């Protein structure tokens, strides 16, 4: 999953980012409203953590612009304002998914983030993904194949999870890299075939199909083109 943190407090932003990276999420941190607006319009995020008090453009204005442009990712608003009820109303009217006041309880924030990622919506997320003989627990980050545990590296897990979420269509190497790896875990599209090969070794050669000219598709039993 890819998460945008739009927060001008660098210490808080890094604390949240470290927590999310421990959960195997890719994270982008932006501290400026106009720049954050552009990031949200140009990139596909699974969720956003948003501070209303941003320089150049306030967070509520950013959120409204996203919604006006059909950017429907879940947005959790964080604020230290004393006008809690007023800000809560403004957050809801702007299109926020959830609302949390500062000082932020990081465990609660993580629970809320898991909740919005796993809730039904335009892109349905389930805590446990089951595709054929494959089972992925997205909260414990564990994987089973044919009932037995499969040990994956963080990179292998991210690629497999993305393929599972988008099962049924081919996913390009560029899409997997752009959506799953941030500046602290840079991968190039040329590296993806290496990890696909490792996943096939662990899950079975026919688990992932190469769709030439398009990318890779999770098949779990359908023929694999070579």
Q: pLDDT tens across 140-157, in order?
A: 788 999 989 999 988 899
Length of the chain: 226
Candidates 3.40.50.2300, 3.40.50.1000, 3.30.2130.10, 3.60.20.30; correct CATH number of 2-118?
3.40.50.2300
Rounded to whole angstroms, the Cα distance separating 174 from 177 reads 5
The CA-based angle 216-220-224, given to 5 degrees, is 50
**Residues paired with 18 in a beta bridge:** none
Q: Which residues of the chain have pLDDT under 50?
A: 120-125, 184, 221, 223-226
Task: Indicate the CATH number for domain 128-218.
Answer: 1.10.10.10
Domain residue limits, the chain: 2-118, 128-218
- Sequence-distant contacts of 58-64: CB under 8 A, at least 24 apart: 58/33, 59/6, 59/33, 60/90, 60/91, 60/94, 61/33, 62/6, 62/33, 62/36, 62/37, 63/91, 63/94, 63/95, 63/96, 64/94, 64/95
pLDDT digits (tens, 9 = 90+) for 98-125: 888 888 888 888 888 887 776 544 344 4
């Amino acid at each position: 999953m890819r998460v945008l943190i739009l927060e001008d407090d660098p210490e808080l932003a890094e604390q949240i980012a470290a927590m999310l990276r421990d959960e195997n999420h890719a994270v982008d941190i932006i501290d400026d409203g106009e720049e954050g607006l552009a990031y949200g319009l140009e990139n596909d995020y699974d969720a956003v953590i948003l501070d209303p008090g941003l320089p150049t453009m306030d967070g509520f204005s950013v959120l409204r612009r996203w919604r006006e442009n059909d950017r429907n990712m879940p947005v959790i608003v964080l604020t230290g304002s004393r006008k809690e009820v007023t800000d809560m109303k403004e957050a809801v009217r702007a299109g926020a998914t959830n609302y949390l006041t500062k000082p932020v309880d990081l465990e609660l924030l993580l629970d809320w983030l898991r909740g919005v990622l796993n809730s039904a919506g335009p892109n349905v997320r389930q805590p446990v993904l089951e595709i054929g003989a494959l089972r992925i627990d997205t909260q414990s980050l564990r994987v089973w194949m044919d009932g037995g545990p499969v040990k994956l590296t963080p990179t292998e897990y991210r690629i497999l999870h993305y393929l599972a979420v988008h099962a049924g269509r081919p996913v390009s190497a560029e899409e997997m890299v752009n959506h799953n790896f941030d500046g602290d875990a840079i991968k190039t599209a040329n590296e993806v075939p290496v990890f696909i090969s490792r996943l096939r070794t662990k899950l079975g050669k026919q688990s992932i199909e190469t769709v030439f000219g398009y990318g890779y598709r999770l098949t779990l039993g359908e023929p694999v083109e070579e």
